[in-house]
Amino acid sequence: MRLFLAQSLWSDFQKSFIDKDRWLMYLDGLKMTLLLALVGTIVGIILGLLVALIKYSYSTRKKNKPWLSLLNWVANLYTTVIRGTPVVVQLLILFSLSFMPNGVVASFIGFGVNSGAYVAEVFRSGINSIDVGQMEAGRSLGLSSRATMRYIILPQAIKNILPALFNEFIALVKETSVAGYIAVNDLTKVADRIKGITFVNLPLYIVALMYLCIVYLLTLIQKRIEVRYSRSDRN
Amino acid sequence: MIEIKQLCKSYGELRVLNHISEGIERGEKVAVIGPSGSGKSTFLRCLNLLEKPDSGEIWFNGKEITATDIDTDSVRQHMGMVFQHFNLFPHLTIRQNITLAPVKLKKQSQSAADEQATQLLTRIGLIDKADTYPNMLSGGQKQRVAIVRALAMNPEVMLFDEPTSALDPEMIGEVLDLIRDVADSGMTMVIVTHEMKFAREVASRVLFMDEGEIKEQNDPANLFDAPKNKRLQDFLSKVL
Ligand SMILES: Nc1ncnc2c1ncn2[C@@H]1O[C@H](COP(=O)(O)OP(=O)(O)O)[C@@H](O)[C@H]1O
Ligand SMILES: [Mg+2]
């Protein structure tokens, strides 16, 4: 009985991993998943920083110029809509646009835009964690608010921001598993396709294990970085 | 050098500055005293526009700096400010704290700014701390660095907001000594303080603020020894 189980497991494994060099498909899927997470995080950081700076400038001025009010309104609309709708729906909508060349590009944009709405909050709370006296000291020396932000606030805030950004990357590794909805061959989609070809369920377990290993590895790296940062913490 | 006309500032319902008019001449050392919450900090912070007045005008060197088209950054480059809580930049070394603004604002090259920082730190006896970070300094040392950081911009006036209030008693002396030194160099100064002895000794004029108004002002001898305003008499009887 036990032998039979082992044999059938081996045969499933052969079908879903070894036959026709299928393991190469997993590798491609993994590459796609990591690429989506990486591009998503980078686009998210750019958008998130932009949104956070807009909201910060808006909140610190007593009287605001009309263009800043408009930008702030757009930023709020952006975060509200993105956080209030499922990422799959956002991807499907993007993919449906006539000018969208393919699912991969739509995913780059989609996950980036989605992540930006969350990263904005990461930056906002990172910036707010810095004592207002720092901004006042910079401004009282005659530095502009932009220069003070760049040379004084952000370098300090980054210590809180960096670990949270790494979290966002780890989250994206898992979240991008819905990219298959718009015909992207990420790790999950690959497993689903192999399952369809071979009629065995093992591919799902294989990718689950792969996700687990990657996330575990990334978490280890993150801990390393945090330790190094807290050691060099001069505050 | 500074003209303040009918300056008003409220936080919500609370009127913190009530039609303040005052002039400060070049070279004057003006001490501002008064009970807590009387608007001293707000007054000081309006002078370099860290707070925006609701109404009234402030003129600095013949220019109205409360005008809407004014470049506040360039105004502040001529006004140094020292805070109660030092506000050194913790991620920068002591030397970088001092050179950041002059270099980024293109007032000095990095090497000239470094040279000036060396001079300033030597003057306050902290040259051996130049390449350490602020957390390595005592409160008194931090405040002295904050003072020379402001001086490094070569300001025309220095604003001090209770520079010794956050310090342990044994460190107050070294900071007051430095401020006295700056005063003796001819700097125009406005200093909010609770150190009455120091105000009497260093100030050329003392303003008593209460309920958002300057209730009395005089040279230190007359203000401290012959106060006329009832509130000032009460205040002095409590603090002296
Ligand atoms: N940012 C602020 N928002 C609301 N109220 C404030 C703010 N800053 C100061 N106040 C209030 O204004 C009054 C005057 O404050 P301040 O100028 O700091 O007084 P002082 O320096 O004389 O102690 C106080 O009652 C204080 O609570
Ligand atoms: Mg105060």
For the stretch B145-184, pLDDT in tens is 999 999 999 999 999 999 999 999 999 999 999 999 999 9
Check pLDDT > 90 for residue A51.
Answer: yes
Low-confidence ranges of chain B (pLDDT < 70): none
What's the gap in Å between A127 CA and the centre of ligand 2? 25
Distance CA B64, CA B58 (A): 6
What average pLDDT score do residues A13-27 get?
Answer: 84
3-state secondary structure A45-66: HHHHHHHHHHHHHHHHCCCCCH
Distance CA A77, CA A52 (A): 13
Residues facing residue B81 across a β-bridge: B159
Q: How confident is the model at residue A234 (pLDDT cuts 50, 70, 90)?
A: very low
A-chain residues near B93 (CB < 8 A):
none
The domain limits of chain A are 32-183
What's the gap in Å between B84 CA and the centre of ligand 2? 8
Q: Decide: B235 and B38 in contact? Cβ < 8 Å.
A: no
* pLDDT for res A94: 95
Give the domain A32-183 fold: MetI-like fold (1.10.3720)
CB pairs under 8 A between A and B: 72
Judged by CB atoms closer than 8 Å, whether chains meet at A147 and B153 is answered as no
Distance CA B84, CA B156 (A): 21
Check pLDDT > 70 for residue A55.
Answer: yes
* pLDDT for res A62: 63
| Complex prediction ipTM | 0.93
Question: Which residue does chain B place closest to A133, by CA atoms?
Answer: B87
Distance CA B175, CA B147 (A): 9
Instruction: Name every residue in B having a CB less than 8 A away from some CB of A.
Output: 48, 50, 52, 73-81, 83, 85, 87-91, 100-101, 104-105, 133-135, 146, 149-150, 153
Residue bearing tokens 């000032």? B232
Query: DSSP letter at B11?
Result: E
Q: Decide: B84 and B161 in contact? Cβ < 8 Å.
A: yes
Q: How confident is the model at residue A230 (pLDDT cuts 50, 70, 90)?
A: low
Minimal Cα–Cα distance from A142 to chain B, Å? 4
Q: Decide: B54 and B10 in contact? Cβ < 8 Å.
A: yes
Q: Where are the beta strands (DSSP E) in chain B?
A: 2-11, 14-24, 29-33, 55-60, 63-64, 79-82, 157-161, 188-192, 205-210, 213-218
Minimal Cα–Cα distance from A53 to chain B, Å? 19
For the stretch B22-49, pLDDT in tens is 999 999 999 999 999 999 999 999 999 9
Query: Among B42, B50, B51, which residue has the most ligand 1 atoms within 8 Å of its CB, making it the best to mutate?
Result: B42
Closest listed residue to residue B232, CA positions, set B215, B212, B213: B215
* pLDDT for res A63: 67
Mean pLDDT value across chain A: 90
What average pLDDT score do residues A157-181 get?
Answer: 93
Q: How confident is the model at residue A231 (pLDDT cuts 50, 70, 90)?
A: low
What is the widest separation between alpha-carbon atoms in chain B? 55
Query: DSSP letter at A202?
Result: H
Judged by CB atoms closer than 8 Å, whether chains meet at A140 and B74 is answered as no
* pLDDT for res B72: 92
The CA distances from residue A126 to A145, A221, B130, B146, B212, in Å, are: 17, 21, 29, 25, 36
Task: Give the number of C-alpha atoms closer than 13 A to the C-alpha of residue B106, restricted to the C-beta side.
Answer: 2
* pLDDT for res A13: 82
